[in-house]
Structure 1
Amino acid sequence: MLFIKIRTAISLGMINLARVLIYRIGLKFGFNPVKTISAKIEKDFFFDGSRLNSKVRLPFNTDWLQQQKYFGWKVISSKDIPIWYKNVLTQKNVRTPFLSWWSIPDFDPELGDIKGVWEASRFDWVLCFAQQAATGDKQAIDKLNKWLSNWIENNKPYQGVNWKCGQEASIRIMHLAMASLILKNYFNTQISLLSLVKAHLQRIEPTISYAMAQDNNHG
C-alpha cells in the first residue's frame, strides 16, 4: 500500500501534490469554503411541458420506462423512485445517509463500491423522461418533476453521500441542462431549476483545484 501511495505521488508531480495537500488541510481545519456554503432549493416544479408539441413522434430512450436501469446494463424491475442512498450493486444502504458529505468516509467495505450508490443520482433518468415528455407525454413531465422533488427531499444541499463528489454534481448539471434544451425551457427557466443548478455549482467551484490535481477525468 505504501509503495502504491509513493508511486501515485510521483506520478502526480509536485504542483498537484500541493493542490491535494492544500485541499485536505483546508477540509480538515475548516477553512476551505466548501465547508461553509449553504443553499436553498426552491420547492416547485422544475420543468414546464407547455411548450411541447404533442404531434411530434420522436424515438426516445426507454431505459427507465417501467423499470430502473443502471450502468447501461443492470435492470431492476421497478417503476418506483429509487432509494437514493442504496447501492444497486450490493443492495446495501448507506448507514448514515444524512451526514455532511465531508464526514462520510471514502470507503466502506460493507457498502461496497460507492459508484453503486451514485449511479441513480447521476440523473440518466432525467434525459429519458425529458425525451419521453418531448413527444407530448404529460405523465412523463409530471414524473420528471416528481422524481426531482423526491431527490431534493432526500438529498438536502451538501448532506449525504450524493454530494460527496464534485464530478458527480457536474454530471447532474449536464443532464439537467440537456433536459432543459429538450423541453425548450431555456428561455423561461424555472426558479426552482436555477436554484438546483446554483446549489451544484457552489459545491463544485471550491474543489476544482483538487479535481485538477488528480490528473484524471475528474479535472
Structure 2
Amino acid sequence: MEEKANRIFKGELLFFSSEWKNLKKDYDWVTNPSTDFRYDIFKHWSEIPDLAKEAGDIKFVWEKSRFSYLLTILRYDYHFDKNNAEFIFSEIESWIDANPVNQGPNWRCSQEISLRIFNWCFALDYYKNDKALTEERWNKIQNTIYWSLHHVYHHINFSRIAVRNNHAITETLFLTVSELLFPFISETKKWAQKGRKYFEEEINYQIYDDGTFLQFSMNYHRVVIQLLSLGISISEKYDKPFSAVVYQKAYKSLNFLYQCLQEENGYLPNYGSNDGAWFFPLSDTDYRDYRPQLNSLHKLLTGAYFYQDDTLIEDFLRDDSAINKTKPITKKYGIQSFDVGGYYICKTENHFTFIRCGSYKDRPFQSDNLHIDVWVKGKNILRDSGSYKYNTEEKYINYFNGTKGHNAVVVDKHSQMLKGSRFIWFYWTQSQNAHWKETEESYIFEGTIKAFQQLSSSAKHYRKVEINKNDTTWKVYDKIIGLDSSEKKQIWHFDDAKIDWSSTSLKEQKEMSLNSSYYGVKTEGAAKSYVFENEVETTIKYKA
C-alpha cells in the first residue's frame, strides 16, 4: 500500500489494476497515454467519439478520471496515520479546472461521471473537517456534483434502454443515493425517486433468478457486487432500504460467484468481458482475487464474513450493524446447475470444472458456448483467454472474443456465431439441453447447442464431459451435427500445465494461444487442437 501511494504521489497510475504508467504530476486529464492523442476539451461531449483509430481506446483517458486511486491514498492515510488531504483535494480541483462541464471526453459517459463522484464522496467523507477542504474548493465540488447528477438524470434512458448492463446499474444507483448524500440539492428528491425505481428494476432484470448475470462476465458481475455493497450500506444507514428483490438477487449473486471461487487464491474463471474494472479498490489483494468484495456483501447481508483475515476485509465498508436478513452461504461440493444463466459446475476436494451451456436472450459478448474451464488446487490448467482490449486490431478482437480463444470447437475457422461490428454477434447460440448425472465413478455433463447457424440452419454441437471422481482425468466427447463436409477443430488452451493427452483424432496441431489476465495486457501461451470430421473424444489427465 505504501509503495502504491508513493508511486501515485510521483504521478504514476495503475491502469486497469495491472500496469503502471507514468502520467507525471502535470497530467492534463485528456491525453491518452497509450497513443499520446489529446482530446479537444472545447468540444461538447456529444462530439467526442467512443471509437476513433487515431485516439485509441478512450478507456485509457477515463481511467485516472474515475479517481479510484484516491482510495489507495485514503487507505494509506488511515493505516499509516498520515494526512494527504491537500493532495487529494488538489487533484479533484485540478480535474474540475481542466474539464469544463459537459465538455471533452470525461463527460462522454454517464457511468464514468457516476463513478467519479462516488470516489470523491469517499474522500469528502473521510476529510470533511480538514482545512484542505476550503470553502472555495467545496463550492467548486458542489457545482460539479450538481451538473454530474443533472447530466446522468437527463441521459439515463441511454443506459437503461440502449445499453442495459452494469452502466445502468451504476447510474441509477448514483441517482438513488443522491437525496441521501446531497440533500442540499433540491432536485435530488425527484432524481432519487426515479433512480430508486430504475435501480430496483435493473437489479431484478439483470440478475437472473439463479444469481447469474446478463453480461455473462465474472468481472462485470463483481462490479455489480461492489455497487450493491455501496448502495445497501448507504440506504440502510439512512433507513431507506430497497425492496426485497434487491436483497434476494444480491444473495443469489453472491452464491453463484462464491461457488465458482477458488479458495487457494480467490480467483474465478477469466470468463466473459474483462476490462479491468475495479471501481472501489479497498484491499491490497490481486485484482483477480474476488474474496474481499464477496466478503463485504456477505457481511452486510448475513452478519458474517466468509473470511476473517484482515487482508480480505475491505476498509470503509465495515458495518457493525449488518442486516442479518439471510443465513450464511456455504461452499457446496459435487455438481451444481445454474440453468437460467447456463452454467454447470463440479467441485471436488482437488479440482473444479466450469462449463458454459446457455441460451442467449441478452446480448452475448463472446462466442464461447460449451467452453470448459478446469482448475486443480487453484491452478487454471484449461483456461479462457480473456478479453485484452475492446478497441484493438481486428485479429485480436476476433481471437479473444471468438471461439478460438476458448476451449471449444471451431468449424472451418468459423466461430459459433457470426461477428458483426464492435460488440455485435449474429446467430446467437441457443442451448437445446444441458444436464448433469452422477455415477459411482464419475460426474457426467451432457449439453447440445444450436451453433454455426451462419453455415447451416441444422448445425448443432453436442458435448459430453466425464469427470473421474478418483483422480484428475477428464474425457471430452464432441460431435458436430449438420456440417459433414467441414473441417472441425477441438481447441485446448493449457499453457504450462503438465497433461497427458490422448485423442481419437488422427491429426494434432499447434494453435496460436494468447492470454489476457488483465485488460490491455496479453502474453503468449500454449494451445493445441485435435482435427476431426464429425466426432472426437479426448482424454485429459493432469499430472501434478
Q: TM-score range by the shorter chain?
A: 0.5 to 0.7
TM-score (norm 2): 0.27
Q: By how many angstroms is 1:148 displaced?
A: 1.4
Structure with the higher fraction of residues in helix conformation? 1
Moved more, 81-90 or 164-173: 81-90
Q: By how many angstroms is 1:93 displaced?
A: 1.9
In the other structure, the counterpart of 2:29 is 84
Unaligned 5+ runs, structure 1 = 1-57
In the other structure, the counterpart of 2:64 is 120
Q: Is the 8 A contact 2:85 2:127 kept in 1?
A: no
Paired residue secondary structure (1:90): coil
In the other structure, the counterpart of 1:131 is 75
**Counterpart among 157, 162, 165 of residue 106 in structure 2:** 162
Paired residue secondary structure (2:36): coil
Change (3 A) 1:218 1:167: same
Q: By how many angstroms is 1:103 displaced?
A: 1.8
Matched, 1:218 2:167: yes
In the other structure, the counterpart of 1:209 is 157
Kindly name which structure, 1 or 2, has the bigger radius of gyration based on alpha carbons.
Answer: 2
User: 1:80-132 CA distances to partner (integer Å, 9 max, x unpaired)?
Assistant: 143311112323222x2321111222321101111111111111222233334
Q: By how many angstroms is 1:159 displaced?
A: 0.8
Q: Is the 8 A contact 2:101 2:144 kept in 1?
A: no
Matched, 1:196 2:140: no
User: 1:135-179 CA distances to partner (integer Å, 9 max, x unpaired)?
Assistant: 5534x2111122111111110111111001101001101101122
Q: By how many angstroms is 1:61 displaced?
A: 5.8
TM-score (norm 1): 0.63
Q: Is the 8 A contact 2:42 2:103 kept in 1?
A: yes
Q: Is the 8 A contact 1:133 1:183 kept in 2?
A: no
Q: Is the 8 A contact 1:68 1:78 kept in 2?
A: yes
Unaligned 5+ runs, structure 2 = 169-544
Matched, 1:110 2:54: yes
Change (3 A) 1:193 1:130: farther
Q: Is the 8 A contact 2:101 2:147 kept in 1?
A: yes
Q: Is the 8 A contact 2:76 2:82 kept in 1?
A: yes
Q: Is the 8 A contact 1:122 1:172 kept in 2?
A: yes
Structure 1 vs Structure 2 CA RMSD: 2.8
CA–CA distance in 2 between the matches of 1:131 and 1:76?
Answer: 21
CA–CA distance in 2 between the matches of 1:105 and 1:79?
Answer: 26
What are the residue-to-residue correspondences of 1:141-180 with 2, within 5 Å?
141-180=85-124
User: 1:165-202 CA distances to partner (integer Å, 9 max, x unpaired)?
Assistant: 101001101101122233355xx994433222112111
User: Which amino acid in the other structure matches residue 202 of structure 1?
Assistant: H
Q: Is the 8 A contact 1:131 1:182 kept in 2?
A: no
User: Which amino acid in the other structure matches residue 209 of structure 1?
Assistant: N
In the other structure, the counterpart of 1:35 is none
**Identity level (%):** 27
Q: By how many angstroms is 1:79 displaced?
A: 4.8
CA–CA distance in 2 between the matches of 1:83 and 1:217?
Answer: 28
Q: By how many angstroms is 1:73 displaced?
A: 1.6
Count, aligned residues: 159
Moved more, 154-163 or 62-71: 62-71
Q: By how many angstroms is 1:59 displaced?
A: 7.3
Q: Is the 8 A contact 1:82 1:120 kept in 2?
A: no
User: Which amino acid in the other structure matches residue 99 of structure 2?
Assistant: N
User: Which amino acid in the other structure matches residue 193 of structure 1?
Assistant: I
Paired residue secondary structure (1:218): helix
In the other structure, the counterpart of 1:41 is none
User: 1:2-58 CA distances to partner (integer Å, 9 max, x unpaired)?
Assistant: xxxxxxxxxxxxxxxxxxxxxxxxxxxxxxxxxxxxxxxxxxxxxxxxxxxxxxxx9
User: Which amino acid in the other structure matches residue 70 of structure 1?
Assistant: F
Structure with the higher fraction of residues in strand conformation? 2
In the other structure, the counterpart of 1:4 is none
